[in-house]
Chains A and B, each alone.
Chain A
C-alpha cells in the first residue's frame, strides 16, 4: 500500500437508521486491508460519534477519510449551526440533544469526549451559522 486511499461519504440528516453506515463501511475496509483490531475499533467509534453528532445537530454532512499505512485521517464537515462553546461541548456529560434523541439512547454528552479519547489528534473548526469541521487522526500502531 504505497498510496493513500481516499473515501468519501454523505451522511444523511435526521436519519438515525442510516447513521453508522459510513463508519461501518470504513471499518470493513480497514479490516480487509489488515489494520490491527485496536486501530479499527478506535476509528469506528470516533467516526460513528462524529456521524451521530452530524445527524443530531447539523442535518447531516460529509465524511472524508484518508487511509495510509501509518495513520487514518478523517474530516467530518457539516453546515449546521456551529458550536457556540467548544470547551463546554468537550466536557463529558454536556449535551444539547433533544428528548426524542435521548430516548434512542443518545445524548449522553459523550460524543466529542469519546472522539478525543479514541483519536491521536483531534481538532474542531466551527463557525456560528456556517457549520463545523472535525479533524481526527488515528495512528495505525
Chain B
C-alpha cells in the first residue's frame, strides 16, 4: 500500500509533502517521544503521533519512515510544514485517535 492509497481510504488530510506520497507503507509505529520512536520505528513505517514540531520532521527523515500521521487533529507547526516540504516528508492529519488509526491501518496492511 502506498501513502497515497492509505490517504484516500482513510480520508486523511495532506498537510505537506505531496511529492512523496508514492512511498510504500510497510508497517506502523505509534509514539510521541522522539528518541523512543527513532530507536524503534522501522524504515517505511507510517508514524502516528501528536508531535508536529520541527524535530519530528528531522526524526522522520533520519528514521526514514514513509510518512507522519498526526492523530487527534494535532497541529503541524509552520516551520515544521516548511521543513517537511523541503525534505519531502509527507505529513497527514486525522481527527481520529492514535489507537483508531493504528487499528485501521493494521487492517489495511493485513
Contacts and interface: CB of A to CB of B under 8 A. Distances in A.
Interface of A: 16-17, 19-20, 23-24, 27, 37, 41, 44-45, 48-49, 52, 104-111, 113-114, 117-118
A105 B64 contact: no
B35 A20 contact: no
Given A27-B61, A44-B62, A105-B32, A114 B38 contact: yes
B10 interface: no
Given A20-B62, A24-B61, A44-B62, A104 B39 contact: no
A108 B33 contact: yes
10 contacts: A16-B54, A16-B55, A19-B55, A37-B64, A44-B63, A49-B38, A105-B53, A106-B33, A109-B35, A117-B39
B43 interface: yes
A114 B39 contact: yes
A45 B36 CA distance: 11
